[in-house]
Amino acid sequence: MNKTTLIGICIVGIMALAALAAPWLSPCQPAQIDAGSILCAPSSAHLLGTDSLGRDVLSRLIYGSRISLSVGIIAVGISTLLGVFFGALAGFYGKTADALIMRVVDVMLCFPTFFLILAAVAFFDTSIFNIMVIIGLTNWMGPARLVRAEIMALKEREFVEAARASGAGNLRIIVRHMLPNACGPLLVNATLSVAGAILLESGLSFLGLGVQPPVPSWGNMLTEAKATLGVAWWITVFPGSAIFLAIIGFNFIAEGIRKDLG
Amino acid sequence: MKEKPLLLVKGLNVVFRYPAKEIPAACGVSFAVGRNETLVMAGESGSGKSVTALSVCGLLPEESAFVSGSALFDGAELIGMPQKQLRSFRGRRIAYIFQEPASCLNPVYTIGEQIAEVIRLHRGAGRAAAWKEAEHLLELSGISSAQRAARSYPHQLSGGMNQRAAISMALACGPELLIADEPTTSLDMTTEAEIIKLLTRLKKELGFSLLFITHNLAIAERIADKVAVMFRGELVEYRVKEELFASPEHAHTKELLAAYEKVGKF
Amino acid sequence: MGKYILRRIIGIIPLLFGISLLSFAVINLAPGKPVALENSLNPRISAQTLLRLQKLYELDKPLHERYWNWLKRAVVFDFGRSFGDNRPVMDKIAERLPITVTINLLSLLLILAAAIPLGMRCALRPDGALDKSVTAAMFFIFAVPTFWLALLLMNFFGITLRWLPVSGITSLDYEYLSPAGKAADLFRHLLLPVTVSSLGGIAAMARYMRSSMIDALAQPYIRMARAKGLTEGSVLYKHAFRNAVMPLVTILGLSIPGLVGGSVIFESIFSIPGAGRLFYEAVMMRDYPLIMAEVVIVSLLTMSANLLADLSYAWIDPRLRDKR
């Protein structure tokens, strides 16, 4: 575990703790409207200021971490599982399965991901669950390619023959002997994808197509920032910094693991 | 009275310095190459032969390689000479050919362009004249369809043809010394014989000194005037060819000879 | 070479098929009665619109017939009429596409102009001061959400300093300006959007250029070039550079989806009337014909760009020209 990974884990860990301990950590209720203190600059009463409805920015930031982290992790969970499944299928069985799956990958890579996600969001509604699934469904190509390459490389090795000779079924061979080798690169890919998913969710919420207000998401807090440009710098700076820190945290972890893998 | 040698190397040391360690590659190497003479430098891989050859013209990376000693070329001290001045020697008075001919030629330019480039550089010729000269040189090196070869890319030619092209490129500006660093090691035996024949012929026709590096003593037997044996960075034996083959002194020379005997005459 | 081009173009056909299938699938996987319509902000939603939708989707006909009918019309770029103003969808897209394409092209040019020299300098002194700081800077650039950066810069340059305009591509008095004035006005408006959308690309491309250059410099033909007596400039810019830059063409092609996708956000933030913002508005209004058309067209453009990049690479690299 090297320094880089450690720093990343610290950052992400603090955010995760904040997300879990949100009800106890936040000074106010995130949806609590205080008409008397609209657009107040950071002060002792409101450490990070208030927004245009008088809601405390710090509290909304803390609750926002719940959205970002859960969307990130679950979306990537979905895409990694899908990717491993299809990648293993393509790599192990080769020929038609491989040709078919890789064609699908090629097609999906033709679509700018953001466009596809936006289109999907238009046709289904904008619940958090839908967003997780959609992001997951559009990001499985990376892990799939990884796993496929790994399995194809290992398919020809002797230990596969040996395992088969000792009566192991295909599934067992794949899961117990081949996949563990892909764990390292998969982990790096997954960590980077979480950062990407957080970015995607923020972008969607920013455009008004993700998490809907009054539920606080770092992205939709920035929507307000656009409206209050020049008037309330804290609404721009703090949510954006939160996104930035989250991404840096996950990137550090990924970079650290990559360094360890050599 | 003996003529002054063209290249006189005395006490050449090469050390590679890296943050973690220091690797001595050549130690106290001294030899001379006379005009129109052939010196074959023999030894195993890692014995320091290539490093010595490269250091003569300052071709080792400056950040990691530290060269000391003396290399007098026609009276000019090459060790320590600034790169700008060294460039006037390279390609013009001292030329190189290397081991993997296809890799030594840039894959994105034609053979003709790469030869013409050096002609334009050192002889100030115009594009058309340089190209014609390049074709002529390819013909001289025994390539029958010289015009087509000139328009070809390295990947389109065989290893042997690429080496002939490299030889044309090296001799384009009439150098006095040709340093050949294992030019035939990656070629098959027939092609190897052809290239050796070519070099011998060109040397006689054009007149230049040849420093030929190899691990194969058979070649030394065929073309050398003098032989220098390198072992672990040191020059362990340096004799006139006949003497070396008749009565080798150093143990390593004897090993090399034994291997040569086993493989059979060239 | 001709054969290679032909093969590649033929290879596109299954991709086109796949794109059409996927687009069609996304639309038709939606709940039978578009739930989003009821939540939509468009006040004109009524039974009338529902009827149009039903007719559009031909929900009474079987799936494969629907697909075939849609495909027939899509091939001639007939995507129907927009729900918003009943104009033909292609017209709406056609009038906005040039702006998006222009901005993306400008971004690409900026990326190349900035990243290639930067990558080269870093490669010449690996792990030197410049290299280390550039690597560190890139790490942070990748982490910054571009829309946030856009907001911050708009705040700073647009409002605090009042140097640059924050919306649109032209000022109100554009028509009355001289040609030079018009150019300057466009420049001032496009500076922020193009710069911000290029940043990620510059960081990525510089990194690729750096490693590509380092690889090229390690090749034997570089040593030979030096042994020939060529100046260091010739060695670097004539021999190494040409080889280093080749793979970048493909990478450039691969980065186009990212740029196009980014257009949606940038055009929204900077209020630029481009195809990206059109898409965003269409999504907000649930203008299905427009959404479908944009998805297909954008993926076609992306695929063409990739194809072009692939073919260019085959053209530049002599080793590929001879492949069967």
Which of A15, A105, A113, A114 to probe by mutation at the C interface, max C CB count within 10 Å?
A114
The predicted pLDDT at position B249 comes to 84
A251 close to C (CB below 8 A): yes
* Section B63-74 average pLDDT: 90
Backbone angles phi, psi at C183, to 5 degrees: -60, -45
Contact C229 B122 (CB under 8 A): yes
- Residue C151: which of A114, A119, A229 has the nearest Cβ? A229
Contact between C311 and C9 under an 8 Å Cβ cutoff? The reply is no
Q: B71 has which bridge partners?
A: B9
* Three-class DSSP category at B226: strand
Cβ neighbours, 10 Å, residue C198: 25
Counted residue by residue, chain A has a size of 262
Omega of the bond prior to A214 within 30 degrees of 0, cis? yes
C24 vs B125, more confident: B125
ipTM score of the complex?
0.89
pLDDT confidence bin for C35, thresholds 50/70/90: very low
Residue of B nearest to C221 (CA): B104
Query: What angle (nearest 5°) sits at the alpha carbon of residue B137, between those of residues B131 and B142?
Result: 135
The predicted pLDDT at position C31 comes to 53
B83 close to C (CB below 8 A): yes
Which parts of chain B are beta strand (E)? 7-17, 22-33, 38-42, 65-73, 76-77, 94-97, 177-181, 209-214, 226-231, 234-240
Contact C229 B91 (CB under 8 A): yes
Chain A residues in contact with C265 by the CB 8 A cut-off are: 114, 203, 206-207
What is the C-alpha to C-alpha distance for residues B228 and B244, in angstroms, rounded to an integer? 9
Chain B residues in contact with C232 by the CB 8 A cut-off are: 83
Query: What angle (nearest 5°) sits at the alpha carbon of residue C226, between those of residues C225 and C227?
Result: 90
Nearest CA-CA distance, residue C84 and chain A, Å: 15
The top-scoring range by mean pLDDT among A68-82, A229-243, C125-139 is A68-82
| Placement of tokens 């609404």 in the chain | A235
The predicted pLDDT at position C54 comes to 60
Contact between B237 and B244 under an 8 Å Cβ cutoff? The reply is yes
Contact C228 B105 (CB under 8 A): no
| Placement of tokens 């509290």 in the chain | A59
* Three-class DSSP category at B187: coil
What is the C-alpha to C-alpha distance for residues A220 and A227, in angstroms, rounded to an integer? 11
What is the C-alpha to C-alpha distance for residues C228 and B122, in angstroms, rounded to an integer? 9
A248 close to C (CB below 8 A): yes
* Section C121-125 average pLDDT: 88
What is the C-alpha to C-alpha distance for residues C17 and C246, in angstroms, rounded to an integer? 30
Return mean pLDDT, chain B: 89
Contact between B159 and B101 under an 8 Å Cβ cutoff? The reply is yes
The predicted pLDDT at position C41 comes to 46
pLDDT confidence bin for C324, thresholds 50/70/90: very low
Computed from CA positions of residues C263, C264, C267, C273, in that sequence, does the dihedral angle turn out positive or negative?
Answer: positive
Backbone angles phi, psi at C72, to 5 degrees: -55, -45
The predicted pLDDT at position B135 comes to 93
* Section A146-167 average pLDDT: 79
End-to-end Cα distance, chain B: 35
A168 close to C (CB below 8 A): no
The predicted pLDDT at position B93 comes to 93
Chain C residues in contact with A233 by the CB 8 A cut-off are: 155
Nearest CA-CA distance, residue C8 and chain B, Å: 23
Sequence letter at residue C278? L
Helices vs strands, H then E, count in chain C: 14, 0
The predicted pLDDT at position C52 comes to 66
C218 close to B (CB below 8 A): no
- Residue A226: which of C15, C151, C284 has the nearest Cβ? C151
C239 close to B (CB below 8 A): yes
- Residue B57: which of C227, C232, C242 has the nearest Cβ? C227
Contact between A40 and A46 under an 8 Å Cβ cutoff? The reply is yes
pLDDT at B266 over 50: no
pLDDT confidence bin for C47, thresholds 50/70/90: low
What is the C-alpha to C-alpha distance for residues C136 and A248, in angstroms, rounded to an integer? 12
* Three-class DSSP category at C128: coil
Chain C residues in contact with A124 by the CB 8 A cut-off are: 30-31, 35-36
* Three-class DSSP category at B81: coil
pLDDT at A46 over 70: yes
The predicted pLDDT at position C39 comes to 43
pLDDT at A33 over 70: yes
A4 close to C (CB below 8 A): no
| Placement of tokens 């072009």 in the chain | C308
pLDDT confidence bin for B78, thresholds 50/70/90: very high
Contact C145 A109 (CB under 8 A): no
Q: Give the Å distances, CA to CA, from B124 to A71, B128, C233, C238.
A: 67, 12, 18, 18
Residue of C nearest to A115 (CA): C261
Nearest CA-CA distance, residue C229 and chain A, Å: 38
Chains contacting C with at least 3 CB pairs below 8 Å?
A: A, B
* Section C291-305 average pLDDT: 82
User: B221 is written with which tokens?
Assistant: 């037997």
Please count the residue pairs, one from chain A and one from chain C, whose beta carbons lie less than 8 angstroms apart. 144
- Residue B155: which of C232, C243, C319 has the nearest Cβ? C319
pLDDT confidence bin for C48, thresholds 50/70/90: low
Q: B180 has which bridge partners?
A: B97, B212
The predicted pLDDT at position C61 comes to 64
Q: Give the Å distances, CA to CA, from B242 to B54, B197, B246.
A: 27, 20, 6
The predicted pLDDT at position C323 comes to 55
C233 close to B (CB below 8 A): no
Lowest mean pLDDT among A5-9, A44-48, C215-219: A44-48
Chain C residues in contact with A222 by the CB 8 A cut-off are: 147-148, 151
Nearest CA-CA distance, residue A166 and chain C, Å: 42
pLDDT at A139 over 70: yes
Contact C243 B106 (CB under 8 A): yes
pLDDT at A243 over 90: yes
Chains B and A touch (3+ CB pairs under 8 A): no
Contact between A4 and A252 under an 8 Å Cβ cutoff? The reply is yes
B156 vs B256, more confident: B156
- Residue B118: which of C228, C232, C322 has the nearest Cβ? C228
B64 close to C (CB below 8 A): no
Lowest mean pLDDT among B262-266, C119-123, C176-180, C256-260: B262-266
Going by DSSP bridges, is the β-strand pair B226-231/B234-240 parallel, antiparallel, or unpaired? antiparallel
The predicted pLDDT at position B262 comes to 59
- Pick from C186, C148, C171, C178: nearest CA to C265: C148
- Residue C26: which of A123, A202, A244 has the nearest Cβ? A123
Chains contacting B with at least 3 CB pairs below 8 Å?
A: C
Contact C223 B100 (CB under 8 A): no
* Section B231-244 average pLDDT: 88
Per-residue pLDDT tens digits for B137-150: 999 998 989 999 99
Measured in whole angstroms, the distance separating CA B11 from the mean position of its chain's CA atoms is: 20
Chain A residues in contact with C269 by the CB 8 A cut-off are: 226
* Section C217-226 average pLDDT: 92
Contact between A60 and A225 under an 8 Å Cβ cutoff? The reply is no
Lowest mean pLDDT among A103-117, B201-215, C108-122: A103-117
Contact C221 B103 (CB under 8 A): yes
The predicted pLDDT at position C55 comes to 63
| Placement of tokens 């011998």 in the chain | B200
Going by the DSSP 8-state scheme, the letter that residue B90 receives in this structure is B
Sequence letter at residue C90? M
What is the C-alpha to C-alpha distance for residues C192 and B261, in angstroms, rounded to an integer? 76
Residue of C nearest to A109 (CA): C257
Backbone angles phi, psi at B101, to 5 degrees: -60, -40
B92 close to C (CB below 8 A): yes
The predicted pLDDT at position B136 comes to 92
Going by DSSP bridges, is the β-strand pair B209-214/B177-181 parallel, antiparallel, or unpaired? parallel
The predicted pLDDT at position C38 comes to 42
Chains contacting A with at least 3 CB pairs below 8 Å?
A: C
pLDDT confidence bin for C36, thresholds 50/70/90: very low
Return the CA Rg of chain C.
24
pLDDT at A212 over 70: yes
Nearest CA-CA distance, residue A62 and chain C, Å: 18
Chain C residues in contact with B89 by the CB 8 A cut-off are: 229
Nearest CA-CA distance, residue A178 and chain C, Å: 30
pLDDT confidence bin for A149, thresholds 50/70/90: confident
The predicted pLDDT at position C45 comes to 53
Sequence letter at residue C15? L
The predicted pLDDT at position C64 comes to 75
